[in-house]
Structure 1
Amino acid sequence: MTPGAEGHGGVVVVGAGQAGVQVADSLREAGHDGPLTLVGDEPELPYQRPPLSKEYLAGKTSAGELCLRAERFYEDRGVRLFVGRRAVGIDRRLRTLTLDDDTVLPYGHLVLATGARPRSLPVPGSGLEGVVNLRTLADAQELRRRLDAVRDVVVIGAGFIGLEFAAACRAAGLSPVVLDIADQVMGRAVSAPTAAHFAEQHRLRGTRLLMGSAPAELVGRDGRVTGVRTADGVTIPADLVVTGIGVLPNTELATMAGLATDNGVVVDEYLATEDPHISAIGDCAAFPDPRGEGRIRLESVQNAADQARCLAARLTGAPRPYDALAWFWSYQGDLRLQIAGLSAGHDHTVVRGEEQAKGFSVYCFRASSLVAVESVNRPADHLTARRLLADGVPVTPEDVADPGFSPRTHLARTTDPERRALA
């Protein structure tokens, strides 16, 4: 048991997103029966964020269906839930957390699951009416309302969120313009073959992509945005501008408490800060890369949930290093991208499948070792890739380039009889 987790004020979790709710759930599942408090700064019950830019904007999901847990979950599990409250200070000596209404919560162990916030667009005019981020339910509600009334939409940032929103615009009958300073869509998050395919498909479906183009100024009239002026002097009409240029980890609370931060709250392989009574998980945590590549910070449901489970195990007496395989997804209209592993630093790719028809997978290698697999409309490939990477099954570029290669068959050729039976 982590020192003090049962005593004083039990476990207090700051942040009621995926990581915060999961750690509360996992603590109860693992037998923690002490006080358990969850603090969220948004007024709603804790909810899922990924559907905001997909099903929710498309009108396929209601706000109520976004809830991570039903309201009775918190009462049934004995979780004291604060919503619409912001944590403003940590006293590490007294082991207390202060909220913005002067409530003071004692803790035996404090979990920082404070998430991340959108980067601000650093150009003149970014404060005009009609310039919106897409991070919270309130953002998505505003955008859903605006999509019924706007004509010209510009999306700044061709990352996952920007392209997902562009797909939602097309579903609403609009023809969005997406611009990004990078040369390829989704930046360095995907390989060149995957990026090229998505760029082509978005263009074919009616999105105007302006890559290598930077916004210099947002122009407006009577306080409302009317256009985006690019660095080369072109003005693109816009009565709605959505910015998606990345996020920043919410580390202010940790910094004020004197905890180390470096693109996130610095934690060790057990997700612990230098203070034995404080841990950090999810989008705000900078943790050692299990591949030995330094320190990383990941923004995904998988990472948030798996880190929460790992921390709950440590707090209930079963510590283990965090080494879960990273995986991600992005649904952009009828384009389904699923990624297993981390492709950063790859030096070779092999593509399997029909890129223009039923989908394909890109196998990313570094020094002939498989580091990631990007699957487009190939869910079976994705599930097998996760097992290949998680189990460390050797796969070479030559293996994948063989015309008869099947990831499922390759997995089954390992010595595990259970895997052979699944082939």
Structure 2
Amino acid sequence: MSRYVLVGGGVATAATATGLRAAGFAGEIVLVSGEPHLPYERPPLSKEYLAGTFGRGDFQANPDGWAADNDIELVLGTRAQALDPGLRRLSLSDGSTLTYDALVLGTGVRARTLPGFEGDRVHVVRTIADSERLAERLVPGRHLAILGAGFIGCEVAAVAAAKGVRVTVFEPEALPLARVVGPEVGHAMLDVHGEQGVVIRTGELVTGMSETPSGVELRTRDGEVVECDDVLVGVGSVPNTELAVEAGLDVDGGILADEHGRTSAPDVYAVGDVASRLHHGRHVRVEHHDTAVRHGAALARTLLGESEPWTGEHYFWSHQYEHNVQSLGRLGGQTVLRGSLEERSFTVFSLADGRITGMVALNRPRDLLQTRKVLAVPHEVTAAQLADEDFALKGLLPQRPRRSEVRA
């Protein structure tokens, strides 16, 4: 009987396992995770779970009985320590080994840390334990300093401010979120956070810290000392490629894989945040929940012999206060604004050769739903059309023939 071993406790490996069983795979499935929990979704860790509006069961990737119902063996709280592709053998932290017919590496990423920033008052958000530890410190009147105004930093800032915590964010760039969603959304969210009492100090870099009897002192690049109670380091992530590197797999900013998820080692696949997969002709590593799920589902089909890769567009979102940021596809090139910056309801389209390549929207879910359909079909559009709100995006979709035309 074939044995498929999946390494990682996120939504990518969970989707792979679910897809295998749904398609009728009757062999063994073993899922190994260094965390003690069932596979879970990570976006709520900096939002709903941190805020206390979600319990653990609200963001599990699958219900409690999922593993038993699907005959999936769980090896939790145990890390994969070594891989021998030649022997098809995986060594675990408890001293045991697993042989496999196919191995799926969904080892994910870890929060990036900064040298010298450590101690009980320094936090990151990547795991359930991280989120729970930070939540205990979000007490009204305390001062939280956040290093980095990316999605994690801004989402935590929103939750902390709502809890009555004083929040100061240090961001070396000119705007929050600008590197991932562009200046229009960056300007809007800078104002939104300011209205909620969050101070975002753009163009500023924190270079050091020291603990005091009552808290933390941060030192900026300009020599200023800022006192706070806790520090969140939100400066990105590091892909967990060590297992692959030591096993001799090709790695370049992630585990290199083709459009099907195949790595340089026979019958070893990469999925989710750690995978740098061929997508539209180039290797891309994407840390988005939606992409991880779609990677996993597509990989299940690959493992069962299907040859059609996933070629859809990458999608991500962020909720901050009552505002919703959504992005789809590839951003860059010519940009076209649709909607109102003043009303904080707009979409910025990316356009190339008369075709939409991507979009980012603030509080415009309808635009995203229609653009997702448009990106999947050949189309041609001008910047003037996109900017005109009277121009219906659904008009770019192939038109169905009328009933009278069909009868004729």
TM-score (norm 2): 0.94
1:339 aligns with 2:327: yes
Equivalent position of 1:182 in the other structure:
173
Does structure 1 retain, via aligned residues, the 8 Å contact 2:339–2:389?
Answer: no
1:28 aligns with 2:21: yes
The one of 89, 92, 102 equivalent to 1:96 is 89
Equivalent position of 1:312 in the other structure:
300
Does structure 2 retain, via aligned residues, the 8 Å contact 1:128–1:225?
Answer: no
The one of 276, 281, 296 equivalent to 2:266 is 276
Measure the CA separation in 2 of the matches of 1:114 and 1:329.
22
Does structure 1 retain, via aligned residues, the 8 Å contact 2:178–2:185?
Answer: no
1:208-244 CA distance string (max 9 Å, x none): 111111111112215x741221101112221111011
> What's the CA shift for 1:150?
6.0
Matches within 5 A, 1:234-253: 234-253=224-243
Does structure 2 retain, via aligned residues, the 8 Å contact 1:203–1:209?
Answer: yes
Higher mean alpha-carbon deviation, 332-341 vs 358-367, is at 358-367
Measure the CA separation in 2 of the matches of 1:244 and 1:417.
52
Measure the CA separation in 1 of the matches of 2:209 and 2:110.
21
With over 3 angstroms needed to count, the CA separation of the structure-2 counterparts of 1:358 and 1:149, relative to structure 1, is: closer
> What's the CA shift for 1:398?
2.3
Equivalent position of 2:217 in the other structure:
227
Equivalent position of 2:130 in the other structure:
139
With over 3 angstroms needed to count, the CA separation of the structure-2 counterparts of 1:392 and 1:245, relative to structure 1, is: farther
Measure the CA separation in 2 of the matches of 1:153 and 1:287.
37
Measure the CA separation in 2 of the matches of 1:296 and 1:202.
31
Matches within 5 A, 1:20-59: 20-59=13-52
Which letter maps to 1:377? N
> What's the CA shift for 1:149?
6.4
Moved >4 Å (runs of 4+): none
Which letter maps to 1:317? G
1:328 aligns with 2:316: yes
Equivalent position of 1:3 in the other structure:
none
Measure the CA separation in 2 of the matches of 1:114 and 1:392.
36
Measure the CA separation in 1 of the matches of 2:297 and 2:89.
24
The one of 62, 73, 94 equivalent to 1:69 is 62
Question: Secondary structure at 1:270's aligned position in 2?
Answer: coil
Measure the CA separation in 2 of the matches of 1:148 and 1:63.
21
1:339-393 CA distance string (max 9 Å, x none): 11121xx132222122333611111224554221111111111111111112243
TM-score (norm 1): 0.91
Gaps of 5+ in 1: 1-5, 419-423
With over 3 angstroms needed to count, the CA separation of the structure-2 counterparts of 1:276 and 1:77, relative to structure 1, is: same
1:352 aligns with 2:338: yes
> What's the CA shift for 1:31?
1.4
The one of 382, 401, 411 equivalent to 2:396 is 411
Measure the CA separation in 1 of the matches of 2:352 and 2:287.
23
Measure the CA separation in 1 of the matches of 2:218 and 2:292.
35
Equivalent position of 2:155 in the other structure:
164
Q: Share of identical aligned residues, percent?
A: 35
Equivalent position of 2:189 in the other structure:
198
Measure the CA separation in 1 of the matches of 2:79 and 2:290.
25
With over 3 angstroms needed to count, the CA separation of the structure-2 counterparts of 1:257 and 1:325, relative to structure 1, is: same
Give the number of aligned pairs.
Answer: 402
Equivalent position of 1:14 in the other structure:
7
> What's the CA shift for 1:137?
0.4
Measure the CA separation in 2 of the matches of 1:159 and 1:417.
46
The one of 91, 111, 118 equivalent to 2:111 is 118
Which letter maps to 1:310? A
Measure the CA separation in 2 of the matches of 1:46 and 1:149.
32
Equivalent position of 2:385 in the other structure:
399
Measure the CA separation in 2 of the matches of 1:192 and 1:73.
43
Which letter maps to 1:28? R
Question: Secondary structure at 2:166's aligned position in 1?
Answer: coil
With over 3 angstroms needed to count, the CA separation of the structure-2 counterparts of 1:417 and 1:285, relative to structure 1, is: farther
With over 3 angstroms needed to count, the CA separation of the structure-2 counterparts of 1:367 and 1:411, relative to structure 1, is: closer
Measure the CA separation in 2 of the matches of 1:395 and 1:179.
40
Structural RMSD (CA): 1.7
Does structure 1 retain, via aligned residues, the 8 Å contact 2:188–2:344?
Answer: no
> What's the CA shift for 1:336?
0.4
